[in-house]
Amino acid sequence: MKKIYIDGVWGLGKSILCKRIAERQSFTYIDEPVFPIKISKVNFDDEIIDKWYLNAHLGNAMLADEIPNDVVLERSMVSTLVYQEHYQKNIENRQSFIERYLKLNFHSIFILLDFDYPDFLAVKDQFRDYRKPLINGHLGLIKEYEKRFSGIMASSFPNLKYYKIKTLDQSGYIDTEVIYKNIVSFL
């Protein structure tokens, strides 16, 4: 059974690519974890939310192991670790989460969707939904994402396969079909 994670910042096409892989390659698609309560309406401690995401990623990895066919997952625990590292969050038992996740993903493939032009994400008119303010509020994280992702993969998950695929450059988004074919070549 193959387990593939598609990772990257907001707006790079993770959902589209995961769904295309699921449809064309007969993979089961597991969506990214979404915190169940609107954070703006309830005052949660950040650590509760951060631990919830770590546990949710563990849960998705365990669910993927129970599915009898190949699985593509949108986002991995690495994305949560990137976020926590960027905002200098010190999560209790972080190493325990990493070790458990590593055991569940020893033969998984991680694909990082990458870009050359981060300002494009923040100004493109197509982001009329929740992503535009989200992207604008996290430009520092977005610009450091690839570097931090690579660092976490090297330090915490050194034996796992990981590939970068560019989905956005100065001319705009790269054709989704081209990106899909690149991903399939890693399978």
* Distance of alpha carbon 89 from alpha carbon 48, whole angstroms: 12
Residue 87 has pLDDT above 80, yes or no: yes
At residue 90, the pLDDT reads 81
Per the DSSP assignment, residues forming a β-bridge with 4 are 72, 109
Comparing 131 with 99, the larger pLDDT belongs to 99
Residue 123 has pLDDT above 50, yes or no: no
pTM value is 0.86
Please give the domain boundaries of the chain with CATH numbers for all domains.
3-186 (3.40.50.300)
Contacts of 129 (CB under 8 A, 6+ apart): none
* Distance of alpha carbon 123 from alpha carbon 27, whole angstroms: 34
- Of all residues in the chain, what percent are helix, strand and coil, respectively (each to 5)? 50, 15, 35
At residue 127, the pLDDT reads 46
Instruction: Give residue-wise pLDDT tens across range 30-77.
Output: 999 987 766 555 555 677 888 889 999 999 999 999 999 999 999 999
